[in-house]
Amino acid sequence: MAKRRTKAGAQQGLEDAPLMPTGALAVALLAFAEGPGPVVHVARDARRLEDLAATLRALDPDAQVAVYPEWDCLPFDHASPSRATMGARAAVLRWLTDRDALPDFVLTTAPALVQRVPPPETWATARVTLRVGDPLDVAAVTADLKRLGYILDERVDEPGETAVRGRTVEVFPAAASRPCRIEHAEGRVTAIRSYDPVSQRSVAEADALVIDPATEIILEPGSGQSFEPFTGQEHRLDRYYPRLVTLLDYVPEARLAVEDGTQARIDAFFEQMDEARGRLKGRDAQGQAGAGLYLTPEAWRDIVAAHGRLSATEAAGEPRAMPTFSGERRPGTAFAKVVRERLKAGDVVVLAGSVRPLRRLVRQAGKIAERPIRLIDAWTDVAEAAPGDVLALEAPLAAGFRVPEQGATVIAAADLFGPEAAVTGGVRAMLPMGEVDLRPGDVAVDRDHGLCVFEGLEPMATQGEALSEGLRLRFAGDAILMVPVTQADRIWRYGSEPDAVTLDKLDGGTWPRRRLEAEATMARTARLMLAAARARGETEAPVLAPPAREMERFAAGFGFAPTPDQAAAVDALMADLASGRPMDRLVCGDVGFGKTEVALRALAAAIFSGRQAALIAPTTVLARQHAETLRRRFGRFGVEVAQLSRLVAPAEARRVKAGLADGSIRLVVGTHALAGSGVSFADLGLTVIDEEQRFGAKMKADLRRLAEGGHVLTLTATPIPRTLQAALVGLQSLSVLATPPALRQPVRTVVAPFDAEAVREALIREHRRGGQSFVVCPRIEDIAPMAERLRALVPGLDILVAHGDLKPSAMDEVMVRFAEGDGDVLLATAIVESGLDVPRANTMLVWEAARFGLAQLHQLRGRVGRGQRRGTVHLLSDPAAPPPAGALQRLRALEALDRLGAGFAVSARDLDLRGAGDLVGEDQAGHAKLVGLGLYQHLLQLALTAAKGERAEDWSPEIELGLPSRIPEDYVPEPEIRLSLYTRLLRLQDSEAIEALAGEVEDRFGAAPAPVLALFDLARLRASCCALGVARLRGGPQGVAADLRPDRPLPAMAAEAEILLREGRVVWKRSCPDSATCAALAADLLERIRAARERAD
């Protein structure tokens, strides 16, 4: 760690440290680390670890930070922890045995600390080290890796896998983020390269590679014991070692920093352990299952008391917090006021953020502070700064803070630009509104002229501008219109079948009539939607505020750290439930992204608040599986989980209905039968509707009537445009789960003709690695021939069959058995697409895949790869009757969209390829067809905005500054991607979204050339013009001029030399030798207009 040049008195003693903001906690930890021994920081939950680690490394680049995770499974589970987690733990434990190079910080959680681990001597030989030039015995290395928990596999794309191929050995080190390829020749290592597991391309070269174990069970060579992956052996760790120790036994001199909330978390964890031990007693006569694996509560308390510690509390953070400017009416003014105040008080002001947002923050602060801003490398440089200095530090802080003892004020980019400015890498929780790239040959809609065919991009020169590109549009009668890319935002995609539509005449009168008709209908729809939303907003609902202790206990049953999006969704719905107004929240997330856990937290909140709750699923199988999950999670709280569907016996159904009516049954799971006649609730507080997209319009109306006056939570994986549009304009609350769970990987998708040998190999491979497979057929009549085929190909595998001709009870029985681990292969129709959770299923074969819809195939694909292994889906066709070109195009689209979270893009592509149908609501389908789905969404957004009484404008400012702005072909070669970027940029009117797109472009294509940077400068100017009502912005050698719209007159502006105010126009006369100077002057002029508008308001 860097030698810290702290001011006298800056080091913190054992007084409380601030829990939040994370930056303030990191500064306190850096000061605390000045003492002897490493600091072991105990976070209240696992999701804080990576954030804190990144902040510590940013504030002190020399700090050695180790992250020691807890197991990502429940105590004494039948499933093993993931190899990535065990690899990370093993690497930290090995590091702690190196007394000469201990880490400065070990970041962990209480459940990780109370778990005993192998003794330090275990790690002396528990690794494989390879160096370029060293001898290599492939057989010996492979044997060593198997002893360390690695699995031989044909494909290496998950931590803990290895493969031998000719002159290369591939291995995915369990503690690494990428796999490595070791090349060898003549018995020596010739090269070591890390590579991307998806593209298989090399990423970086290395001279040496240290491979840590993929398990915590390290077997001695010749021990006679065997390691069986995925069987849960790790929960009996005490059987494999003469003794177990704790992490703190590795570094007895360590000092603890413990966060508020840690005790509640560990209490819930101990409770979970007791419950798990109770379940195991039946199988273990002595009741000693895993007795030595965890500390007792008393031992935990003793260990905490024995180490000098720092407490991180919320109370200590309150006086250090900074205001959030982005929530103010005038963020820039509030920011300027605080900067001036802190500089006047003599503080050192530190600006912090990741690269792009920090650059913007520095630009804005520079104008206010009127002094140079110095870039620093570490927090230690703050101690050397003079009072009134302004510094900039690249650090991903989510919020600013004050450090009074050092006379420093930190302002984060996120304070001014909003939380998105704190996002580095990762996935933003954003929801694409069904946009699909426009490709040559597609049908398009010109906002002013109607339906046409987009024939491609062509070079085009516009008046007064440099050579650029234009869209070539063909209308009826082969009339051609060239539209500059600077106006691409007026072109919307309609579909991909030119033969299925009638093109409009370029100068015809039918298009304006159709558009007016659609706009009038959407205005009426918008008013009705708003009226319904207002009525709901004026309705009172029960306040559901459950005890924090009970919610903590319930959350501990999850066994995983929630993703940031899950955590945000839970926080939002808890606020909704406590608001006293009816919650109407839509949770949108791709298959396997954790919507169910969000719903479970909501159900728990309702139950623990003393109200009834109902969970409604579209199928009996899904309802039954949900019921099992709820019984497992609510069992220890003494909550009965009732079930109501067509499969429930009449006597049981009567009992459930009576219990719901008198209030004795608090939690029920069922199908739409819950909205049927004869069902009433005593005090229903919450209704959760799962897979909303699978219910018809009438059924959804019935379900909403059931929830009248109560809280409603809706879950969906396939966005429905009308629902989403309402959510995005604030008529319904929206939570997006865009972050995949840590263990979930993209499902590999293969499109191929049926090949008997390939099918046999896929099923045998899955069976060999302890997994299960689905085989899905489109029709019931395909099942019997396929069963015969499969029994001939894989006679040794147990094949279960499920389809709609079976009795409902028999079908459900088969599917639930398979979900619980019975059988090797489930041969079924598409009934398996709905929510069936089979953790061991990793392979799916879909026969005649072209007969399925795209969104349906994506739902099916979501059934595999839900555990710790990567899933594979084979989309098969009949070699004797290959699918037509259009169907193959759909399957290729799915193959291309195999990234995590592709569901939104898949549903957009499916809507386009199959038509909008009733997905936008029966009364709206015709209008979506009239104008196309993209333009429909745009017009509905305008109609809803207008109905709310807000300014709804559909115009674009004219900007003529001579900036040579375009996307060169050698930067983005694909024309459809260039067009997509032009269009997205033109439609963005929010500075945050523009900066996010700039970051995305740089990530995808590398450093942007000057014309692309100019394009983004124009986008920022355009967004400012839209916000300020500037209709036209022009510039030339003598200065710049801004013309305002008649409905947004110019406010009073301070008189200045060179600035002329005329009616509706502001002119700034100043020499502009080039277009870049002209653009900078235009930005300054818009800033002055903004300041004048703010003063006038």
Question: The domain spanning residue 695 has which CATH number?
Answer: 3.40.50.300
Lowest mean pLDDT among 808-812, 995-999, 1053-1057: 1053-1057
The enclosing domain of 294 has a CATH number of 3.40.50.11180
Strands 641-644 and 480-484, by their bridges, are unpaired
Per-residue pLDDT reduced to its tens digit, 1013-1059: 988 988 989 888 988 888 899 888 888 988 888 878 877 776 676 77
Considering the domain architecture, whether residues 762 and 886 belong to the same structural domain is answered as yes
The answer to whether position 977 is within a domain reads: no
Considering the domain architecture, whether residues 160 and 138 belong to the same structural domain is answered as yes
CA–CA distance, 307 with 529 (Å, rounded to integer): 60
**Given this model, what pLDDT does residue 694 score?**
66
- Strand, helix or coil at 494? strand
Considering the domain architecture, whether residues 784 and 687 belong to the same structural domain is answered as no
Question: At residue 845, what are phi and psi to the nearest 5 degrees?
Answer: -115, 125
**Given this model, what pLDDT does residue 577 score?**
92
Per-residue pLDDT reduced to its tens digit, 543-566: 899 998 888 888 877 766 787 788
Tokens of 940: 């509905």
Question: At residue 65, what are phi and psi to the nearest 5 degrees?
Answer: -115, 125
Cβ atoms within 10 A of the Cβ of 740, count? Answer: 20
**Given this model, what pLDDT does residue 40 score?**
92
Domain boundary among 677, 706, 732: 732
**Inter-axis angle of helices 47-59 and 22-32, to 10 degrees?**
60
Under 8 Å between Cβ of 1025 and 959: yes
Under 8 Å between Cβ of 860 and 834: no
**Given this model, what pLDDT does residue 226 score?**
62
Cβ atoms within 10 A of the Cβ of 240, count? Answer: 20
Question: If you average pLDDT over residues 276-290, what whole number do you get?
Answer: 58
Per-residue pLDDT reduced to its tens digit, 524-545: 877 877 777 777 777 888 889 9
- Strand, helix or coil at 18? strand
Tokens of 565: 């999006």
pLDDT above 70 for 422: no
CA–CA distance, 924 with 918 (Å, rounded to integer): 8
**Given this model, what pLDDT does residue 6 score?**
36
Ramachandran assignment for 133, one of left (phi > 0), alpha (psi -120 to 50 degrees), beta (any other): left
The enclosing domain of 1001 has a CATH number of 3.90.1150.50
CA–CA distance, 737 with 594 (Å, rounded to integer): 8
The answer to whether position 48 is within a domain reads: yes
**Given this model, what pLDDT does residue 744 score?**
52
94 vs 700: which has the higher pLDDT: 94
**Given this model, what pLDDT does residue 901 score?**
47
Ranges 185-189, 661-665, 701-705, 982-986, most confident: 661-665
At 608, the pLDDT band (50, 70, 90 cuts) reads very high
**Cα→Cα distances 874→700, 785, 871, 913, Å:** 34, 19, 10, 21
Cβ atoms within 10 A of the Cβ of 762, count? Answer: 20
909 vs 387: which has the higher pLDDT: 387
> What DSSP string runs through 181-239?
EEEEETTEEEEEEEE-TTT--EEEEESEEEE--SSS--PPTT------TTS-GGGGGGG
Question: Which one, of 445, 511, 523, lies nearest residue 941 by Cα?
Answer: 523
- Quick one: what percent of the chain has pLDDT higher than 70? 82
The structure tokens 């004048």 sit at 1092
pLDDT above 60 for 287: no
Report the mean per-residue pLDDT for the chain: 80
pLDDT above 60 for 936: yes
**Given this model, what pLDDT does residue 900 score?**
43
Considering the domain architecture, whether residues 310 and 335 belong to the same structural domain is answered as no
Burial pattern 268-306, b for ≥16 Cβ within 10 A else e, equals bbbbbbeebbeeeeeeeeeeebbeebbbeeeebeebbee
CA atoms within 13 A on the CB side of 899: 9
- Quick one: what percent of the chain has pLDDT higher than 90? 9
**Cα→Cα distances 1066→1020, 1034, 1051, 1053, 1078, Å:** 19, 11, 11, 10, 15
Question: Which one, of 991, 1040, 1069, lies nearest residue 363 by Cα?
Answer: 991
CA–CA distance, 77 with 151 (Å, rounded to integer): 21
Considering the domain architecture, whether residues 884 and 758 belong to the same structural domain is answered as yes
Question: If you average pLDDT over residues 922-936, what whole number do you get?
Answer: 59
**Cα→Cα distances 364→34, 356, 373, 613, Å:** 35, 13, 11, 50
Considering the domain architecture, whether residues 800 and 894 belong to the same structural domain is answered as yes
Question: If you average pLDDT over residues 127-151, what whole number do you get?
Answer: 87
Sheet with 1059-1062: strands ordered across: 958-960, 1030-1036, 1039-1044, 1065-1069, 1059-1062
Question: If you average pLDDT over residues 678-704, what whole number do you get?
Answer: 78
Tokens of 1066: 């502001």
- Strand, helix or coil at 372? coil
pLDDT above 50 for 920: no
User: Alpha-carbon torsion 393, 398, 400, 403, what sign?
Assistant: negative
**Given this model, what pLDDT does residue 12 score?**
38
Under 8 Å between Cβ of 752 and 758: yes
**Given this model, what pLDDT does residue 355 score?**
82
Considering the domain architecture, whether residues 332 and 294 belong to the same structural domain is answered as no
The answer to whether position 979 is within a domain reads: no
Considering the domain architecture, whether residues 70 and 194 belong to the same structural domain is answered as no
Question: If you average pLDDT over residues 435-464, what whole number do you get?
Answer: 79
pLDDT above 60 for 384: yes
Question: If you average pLDDT over residues 618-623, what whole number do you get?
Answer: 81
Question: Which one, of 115, 40, 108, lies nearest residue 74 by Cα?
Answer: 115
**Given this model, what pLDDT does residue 697 score?**
62
**Given this model, what pLDDT does residue 305 score?**
83
The answer to whether position 528 is within a domain reads: no
The answer to whether position 928 is within a domain reads: no
The enclosing domain of 486 has a CATH number of 2.40.10.170
Tokens of 193: 């390269």
Tokens of 549: 């202790």
Question: Which one, of 417, 425, 327, 322, lies nearest residue 363 by Cα?
Answer: 417
CA–CA distance, 366 with 386 (Å, rounded to integer): 17
Question: Which one, of 317, 305, 316, 315, lies nearest residue 256 by Cα?
Answer: 305
pLDDT above 70 for 676: yes
- Strand, helix or coil at 711? strand
**Structural domains counted in the chain:** 7
Under 8 Å between Cβ of 537 and 579: no
Question: At residue 853, what are phi and psi to the nearest 5 degrees?
Answer: -75, 160
Considering the domain architecture, whether residues 725 and 752 belong to the same structural domain is answered as no
**Given this model, what pLDDT does residue 526 score?**
77
**Given this model, what pLDDT does residue 7 score?**
34
Q: Which residues contact 1065 (CB under 8 A, 6 or more apart)?
A: 1041, 1042, 1043, 1044, 1050
At 894, the pLDDT band (50, 70, 90 cuts) reads low
**Inter-axis angle of helices 975-987 and 991-1005, to 10 degrees?**
160
Ramachandran assignment for 753, one of left (phi > 0), alpha (psi -120 to 50 degrees), beta (any other): beta
CA–CA distance, 777 with 961 (Å, rounded to integer): 60
Under 8 Å between Cβ of 248 and 307: yes
Strand partners, 181: 170, 193
At 1010, the pLDDT band (50, 70, 90 cuts) reads confident
Considering the domain architecture, whether residues 139 and 194 belong to the same structural domain is answered as yes
**Given this model, what pLDDT does residue 197 score?**
73
**Given this model, what pLDDT does residue 421 score?**
65
Domain boundary among 732, 760, 791: 732
Per-residue pLDDT reduced to its tens digit, 328-351: 777 888 888 898 888 888 888 999
Under 8 Å between Cβ of 612 and 663: yes
User: Alpha-carbon torsion 744, 749, 755, 758, what sign?
Assistant: negative
CA–CA distance, 144 with 149 (Å, rounded to integer): 9
Extended beta strands in 215-353, E state? 255-259, 309-313, 348-353
Domain boundary among 363, 393, 422: 422
Domain that holds residue 42: 17-121+230-315
197 vs 783: which has the higher pLDDT: 783
The answer to whether position 372 is within a domain reads: yes
Q: Which residues contact 39 (CB under 8 A, 6 or more apart)?
A: 29, 32, 33, 104, 105, 106, 254, 255, 256, 257, 310
pLDDT above 80 for 487: yes
Q: Which residues contact 315 (CB under 8 A, 6 or more apart)?
A: 16
CA–CA distance, 171 with 345 (Å, rounded to integer): 57
Considering the domain architecture, whether residues 105 and 202 belong to the same structural domain is answered as no
Considering the domain architecture, whether residues 567 and 585 belong to the same structural domain is answered as yes
Lowest mean pLDDT among 70-74, 306-310, 406-410, 906-910: 906-910
CA–CA distance, 136 with 139 (Å, rounded to integer): 9
The answer to whether position 907 is within a domain reads: no
Under 8 Å between Cβ of 148 and 127: yes
pLDDT above 60 for 286: no
Under 8 Å between Cβ of 675 and 700: no
Lowest mean pLDDT among 111-125, 380-394, 727-741: 727-741
Extended beta strands in 746-805, E state? 748-753, 772-776, 799-802
Lowest mean pLDDT among 214-223, 784-793, 949-958: 949-958
CA–CA distance, 573 with 602 (Å, rounded to integer): 7
Q: Residue 169 belongs to what H/E stretch?
A: strand 168-171
The answer to whether position 983 is within a domain reads: no
pLDDT above 90 for 605: yes
